[in-house]
Structure formats: structure tokens, C-alpha cells
Chain A
């Protein structure tokens, strides 16, 4: 079945530094990638949608200059949290969808970010 690899699984960084999270589709071409964040005991909130080769579309209230998304190829999307602050600490999860409208989105294993 479809597999999405997300790396790193966890990261601790200092306030003010940037962190890059990678999401790769291993056995299919992900025409669309979605990035979510999830706070403890809460639902997944969509941050942005990225299509290969074009700029990401951000949800209302999500700072595009803070959360940089790059979807340069059909198998790789990255999320960079710039100038991270403690309030950015969260669980970040990517989801990939292939061409042709395959439903049942495939999720990465998530990245737990802690900013100290």
C-alpha cells in the first residue's frame, strides 16, 4: 500500500532557530500534500495545501512566512518552521494524495516539535 515517510519523528530546538520537516511518498507520486498540526488531545488542523511545482495555499490564520512549504517534486514536500517559539511546539503531520483522486489519504508518522 501507499507509504509516506516523515522525518524527523521528533526534534527539540532552541527558540529562534528554524526546523525543517520532510515528507516523502515512497511508492506513489503525491500530487498534493497537506500539512497539519495537532495539539495534545485536540483534532488535526489543516495548515496548508501544496501542489507539486506551485506555491502552497495556506489556511486562514497560518503565517506563510513562518511556515515555509516547498513541494519541489512529486515525492517530496518540506515544512520549515522559521524562528521557532515555544508556542510552535506541536505535533506536525503530513498527508499525501496521489493523482486520480485516490481517497483514503496517506499520512506520515508525524513530527513532534518541542521548542525550548
Chain B
């Protein structure tokens, strides 16, 4: 099946700078979930978006779902070293299968 693309693949920021990762699909997504995977760790669920144009916030993290439900974004304000990891978007498709995007690896330095 077609994988959801994320950009950028990798971003290196200094602590305090903002960061955004984008998730793009050529087809309409039924929903979008976001996960964070620390180096050497497993994915941890962050949030799920279902409605067109939905925006949700978790402290410094802001998640958006596009109006056409073909794209989504995750924005981190004032990054911290604890934000280091790979951020994946994922879609639940047929048979509840969770399909991951290509991921964006974030590196934060002091």
C-alpha cells in the first residue's frame, strides 16, 4: 500500500527553536494519529485527529488535520532536548491496521 510521506526526513534545531513536521497523503485519510519514538525505544501515542480542519494542543505541541483530510502537521514550540526522537504520523485503515508515515527525526542541541 502507499505510504504516507512526511517531510522533512530529518531536522536539527537548537533548543528554543520551533519545529514542524508535515504528513502528506495523496488519498483522503480517515483519521491521523501521531506517535513519538525515542532513540532505541518504541512508538508512544501522542494524539488522534478525526475531523476535517481539527486542531489540538498538548502543552508545546500543536496538531492540525487539513481541511481536505489529506495532510496533517505537528508543530513544537520552543523545542527542548527532551523532544529528541522520531515523529511518525499514522493512519488506521482497513481491518484497523495502523500504517505509519515515513517519519521525521528531530535532533535538538543546546
Contact = CB atoms under 8 A, between A and B. Distances in A.
Interface residues of B, number: 21
A43 B103 contact: yes
B99 to A, nearest CB: 6
Interface residues of A, number: 23
A109 B41 contact: yes
B69 interface: no
A57 B88 contact: no
A29 to B, nearest CB: 15
Contact of B88 (A34, A44, A104): A44
A109 B42 contact: yes
- Interface of A, helix, strand, loop or mixed by DSSP: strand
Contacts of B96: 32, 49, 97, 101
A105 B88 contact: no
A107 B105 contact: no
A74 interface: no
A103 B33 contact: yes
Interface of B: 3, 31, 33, 41-45, 48, 88, 92, 95-103, 105
Interface of A: 32, 34, 36, 41-46, 49, 57, 93, 95, 97, 101, 103-110
The 5 A-B pairs at the shortest CB distance, nearest first, are namely A104-B45, A107-B42, A44-B100, A43-B100, A110-B42
